[in-house]
């Protein structure tokens, strides 16, 4: 269980579990990457807006993975803003809810931080797979 969290600078946070062992530093980009990967695992999400699809994600750098994601952490509470591209034909409210649940769960399970909000902006619809 995370007991103390403090901001180190504009790009990361320190989680302290046991001062006798040391600390764990989590960069903002890592939280953003977790959110991006979790969102794109949901059926109906084509990609993060301005990003590439899951098939070639492993071949690019971290900056490409976090495009379309904004993360704010304040007092151990995370707010995530996502811009996503949906596949044509998927129900927007249902898919958005699944994305919110998946992103919240992934961040909380992997970092120990609390997620207050996952805000979604549908920025594009991918029509190419249905033509």
What's the pLDDT tens digit per position in 78-122? 999 999 999 999 999 999 999 999 999 999 999 999 999 999 999
- Superfamily the domain 28-130 falls into: Cation efflux protein, cytoplasmic domain (3.30.70.1350)
What are the residue ranges of helices labelled H in the chain?
A: 28-40, 62-65, 92-111
Q: Does the reported pTM lie above 0.95?
A: no
Q: Strand runs (DSSP E) across 1-131, as ranges?
A: 4-9, 12-18, 22-27, 45-48, 69-74, 77-87, 114-126
pLDDT digits (tens, 9 = 90+) for 21-38: 777 788 888 999 999 999
For the chain, which residues make up each domain, given as ranges?
Answer: 28-130
CA angle, 72 then 22 then 66, to 5°: 30
């Amino acid at each position: 269980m995370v007991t103390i969290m403090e901001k180190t600078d504009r790009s990361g946070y320190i989680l302290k579990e046991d001062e006798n062992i040391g600390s764990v530093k989590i960069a903002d980009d890592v939280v953003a990457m977790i959110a991006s990967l979790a969102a794109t695992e949901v059926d109906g999400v084509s990609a993060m807006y301005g990003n590439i699809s899951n098939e070639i994600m492993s071949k690019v750098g971290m900056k490409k993975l976090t495009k379309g994601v904004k993360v704010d952490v304040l007092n151990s509470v995370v707010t995530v803003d996502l811009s996503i591209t949906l596949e044509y034909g998927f129900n927007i409210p249902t898919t958005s809810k699944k994305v919110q649940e998946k992103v919240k769960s992934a961040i909380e399970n992997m970092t120990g931080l609390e997620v207050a909000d996952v805000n979604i902006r549908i920025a594009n619809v991918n029509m190419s797979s249905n033509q």
